[in-house]
Amino acid sequence: MEFVAESRGGRRARTDCAVAGVHEGGELTAEAADLDRALGRRITRVLRQGDFAGRLGDTLLLPDLGPGPAARVLLAGLGSRKGWSRRSYRRALSAAAPAVLRCGARDALLLLSAGDVPEVDAYYRARYAAELFGQARYQIPALKSGRRPKPPRLDRLRVACAGRADLAAAQRGVLHAAAVVAGASLTRDLANLPANVCTPSHLAGVARALARAHRRIRARILGEPELKRLGMGAFLSVTSGSDEPARLIVLEYRGGKAGSAPVALVGKGVTFDSGGISLKDPPAMDEMKFDMTGAAAVLGTVKALAVLEARINVVGIVPACENMPSGSATKPGDIVTSMSGQTVEVLNTDAEGRLILCDALTYSRRFRPAAVIDIATLTGACVIALGQHHSAIMSNNDALAEQLLAAGRRSADSCWRLPVGEEYFEQLKSNFADFANVAGRDGGASTAASFLWRFVDGLTWAHLDIAGTAYQTGASKGSTGRPVALLVDYLLSRT
């Protein structure tokens, strides 16, 4: 779908569908009122009849309007004027987007984005709009038999801004949104695929395809013999029970100055997590195909940067494998040696993400990164702590943590800081190795991050636990594409 920012208002618009905002009490926004006048007060007549109350999240389509600037108008409820905020703006957009996509319009003009939203500038008004419409247009990869549902007809969204003074910012907003949508769609495609399709080798193939498609990306794939030579015993211990060979995927995006230190993104790529010998309970085990969403987010973020030709250097590192039970699988009580030389007693084979990430974090040192961020569906404890609203962030650097928190607030892809450090690591003491891979239930998310903390000495590091935000369950089961928007926003802020 094409996203365009423009400064024309409702009176001069020519569109298949104009999206106009109405507050509770029938109060039209200035842009909606302008459109209403051009339509001979037809919107006002509908409101007087009591057909639309303007409640936040409600929509009403007015079709067949005849001659005039808009063939249809979608009224979007904005709630009370007093409660108007960034949150309600995004909620109104989220309700309007699927309604527009259902109506059959090929071209839509969004007038909501031209009005004032508290603490949201023209760039983010336009970016939010384009991102939410792009997300609503997403379709899960077709693996069902029979004819694939036709995609929505909408192929162009025109995002209005208040005037020419805002136009440049709005144009930049939709440009960045298009890249985020492209990256998040790749992330969602990969995460939504079944584990018998999206294997470590499949992820490696996607990385090579990105490198072929974008001149600024270079891909390198390391196989198990190379991982053994590197001494990645922790990573290899996870894949030892699987017939699918492990892969370490390295994507270098070179958009910044030659020689400038990159930001390293390390994504957990467990394409299916059975728990290994410490087998998971059967209910919802199918959702463990989403355990590679950290890897998918890295690939999606690199794609978004390449689409934008962003002026930054980034290296994406993805340890990709399966965690399966078999006669050759790692057993509880086994001791493995990580690439750093530290030994780990594996008390629970279902705490595998930290084992593959610790070796990938050690590997990231060879790039002398300015910062390292690992992204992982790491702990159920994070879901208990934060639910599906916030990703968790733990960091050894306050400045980096605040930068990521700020990027989350700006992009509406929020995260919440949790503690990490020595006091949590004390729980991981072992009588037989340098430390164990699990402790008790208390503080599980922080304890897991503190395990990784032992491998990042001297690095500026942050850990994003996306276990609660990476995908939805139940009737809406599927990948959310998070945290691509957050990561892109953070990386663009460094350019």
Residue 143: predicted pLDDT: 85
CA dist 120 and 118 (Å) reads 6
Query: SS3 for 15?
Result: strand
- Show the low-confidence residues of the chain (pLDDT under 70): 8-13
Helix (H) / strand (E) element for 462: namely strand 461-465
Question: Which residue, 370, 368, 365, 378, is CA-closest to 451?
Answer: 378
Query: What pLDDT digit, counting tens, does each position of 25-71 carry?
Result: 999 999 999 999 999 999 999 999 999 999 999 999 999 887 788 99
**CA-to-CA dists, residue 301 to 18, 267, 317, 405, 406, angstroms:** 32, 11, 12, 17, 18
**CA-to-CA dists, residue 42 to 50, 63, 65, 66, 123, angstroms:** 13, 11, 8, 11, 31
Question: Which residue, 255, 235, 257, is CA-closest to 246?
Answer: 235
CA dist 495 and 491 (Å) reads 7
In this structure, which CATH number among 1.10.760.10, 3.30.479.30, 3.20.20.70, 3.40.630.10 belongs to the domain 185-493? 3.40.630.10
Residue 9: predicted pLDDT: 58
CA dist 97 and 85 (Å) reads 18
Residue 101: predicted pLDDT: 97
Ordered by start, the domain boundaries in the chain are 2-160, 185-493
pTM of the model: 0.96
Cβ contacts of 464 within 8 Å, gap of 6 or more: 294, 373, 374, 375, 376, 391, 392, 393, 404, 415, 483, 486
Catalytic one among 280, 365, 417, 494?
280
The one-character DSSP state at 419 is -
The overall average pLDDT reported for the chain is 96
User: Do 185-493 and 2-160 have the same topology in CATH?
Assistant: no
Q: How many CB atoms lie within 10 A of CB 118?
A: 10
Catalytic one among 354, 410, 454, 482?
354
Which two three-digit tokens encode residue 122?
């023209």
CATH number 3.30.460.10 given to 2-160: no
Establish whether 354 is a catalytic residue: yes
Establish whether 280 is a catalytic residue: yes
Is 158 within 8 Å of 69 (Cβ atoms)? no
Query: SS3 for 156?
Result: strand
